[in-house]
Amino acid sequence: MKRIILLIFKDYGKINIDGGLMKIFITISLFLFSFLSNAGILIEPQLGYIFSSKSTSGTLNLTAANATGTLDSNYKAKGLDYGARLGYQFFGLMSGVTYSKTSMKIDEVSSGSDTYKLTNMGLFLGYDAPILVRVWGAYLLSAKGNLGDAGVKGKGTEFGLGYKGLPFLSLNFIYRTYDFTEVTSSGYTFSTSGFKPKEMELAVSLPFNLF
């Protein structure tokens, strides 16, 4: 009888050991699944409409090595914007690079070109909250293009607020400010200050992660 009881005890101990290993395996698997589900490469193409882009900086003085000039920097424009954000997302935190191109039409142009084209490149940092809201900010390291017949170059900032109420889509409001410090016109490259346009945009983006 003692021998039988001993054998049963040994088998029971083996079952407990196997069960403990199984619990550890399940715990590690759940942790890895949770980690991978909340981390990955972020790819987010975006298409938007800039419904307000304007400057009220007035007439600016332009200076170059061998020339001076003035620029009437007041304008209003509307148009399309497209681009993407590429980065990494980890438990809601997201960061990476942002790129966009705009093509707008300037209102009330008496002469010359009425187009406004701009290319932005920068770095962004944001948070994708579990309550269907996303926020981010970006520093635009390069903002350059053509405002009418003049080339412009500078830097800027961006603030974005997104709502993920639709499957696979984010509805975004974006606010940007620029500080253009270089103007090219008539073959001259001028430096200036105080040229600080602002713009507002409504956009749709498709954020998704690649693990």
pLDDT in tens, the chain (211 residues): 444 444 444 444 444 545 666 666 565 554 544 444 556 899 999 999 999 999 988 888 888 877 788 888 888 999 999 999 999 999 889 999 999 999 999 986 656 678 999 999 999 999 999 889 999 999 999 999 998 888 999 999 999 999 998 888 999 999 999 999 999 988 888 998 889 999 999 999 999 888 6
What does 106-123 look like in DSSP terms, one character per residue?
ESS-SSS--EEEEEEEEE
Q: Which residues contact 120 (CB under 8 A, 6 or more apart)?
A: 83, 98, 99, 100, 101, 102, 140, 142, 143, 156, 158, 176
Amino acid in position 143: A
Would you state the pLDDT for residue 162?
97
pTM of the model: 0.79
CATH label, 40-210, candidates 3.90.1150.10, 2.40.160.20, 3.40.50.300, 2.60.40.10:
2.40.160.20
Would you state the pLDDT for residue 21?
67
Backbone angles phi, psi at 73, to 5 degrees: -90, 0
Would you state the pLDDT for residue 5?
43
**CA dist list (Å): 173 to 63, 73, 108, 200:** 36, 25, 26, 7
Residue showing tokens 């932005």? 120
Would you state the pLDDT for residue 26?
60
Would you state the pLDDT for residue 22?
66
